[in-house]
Amino acid sequence: MKPHLPHMNAAIEIAEKYQTPFGAALAMGDQLFVTAANQTKELNDPTAHAEIMAIRNLGEHIKKTDLSGFTLYTTCEPCPMCMSAAIWAKIETIFFGCDIPTISRFMDQIDLSCRDINQHSFRRVEIGEPVMPEACLELLRKFS
């Protein structure tokens, strides 16, 4: 699958708006459904990662937990929690900007790639090549 760059731009824009390196967008084909940013500090909730917030928002919007057919765009590689949520939500494809080794240069990370989690899962999510990594790296530089 080929990434839709405007959707990654939407993830970057919401991250900028919330002044965080972490933004996410969920889309189906050309249609963008939701964007979300990391809000762990604002909500005093360590699970309020951008990907989790996007999954919650979309589930509430469409009144379903099955997000089959949706693509997740995220500025940074999903952590183990977010990757697991994507698997449980049946998200079809994930595109991200910066990988975990890159993120680790700016902050603590659990050193387990989403590809490793995917490989050991009961279902597979298609994981694309990095999308707009330089723009996403700039978010890490600005907001970490």
* Collapsed DSSP state (helix, strand, coil) of residue 85: helix
Closest CA to 51 of 38, 40, 63, 69: 38
- CA distances for 12 relative to 20, 21, 112, angstroms: 9, 8, 23
Positive or negative: CA dihedral 70, 33, 134, 117: negative
Do the beta carbons of residue 23 and residue 15 sit within 8 Å? yes
Q: Where are the beta strands (DSSP E) in 12-134?
A: 23-28, 31-37, 71-76, 93-98, 126-127
51 labelled catalytic: yes
> Catalytic one among 13, 16, 51, 134?
51
Closest CA to 74 of 109, 49, 45: 49
What are the residue numbers of the active site? 51
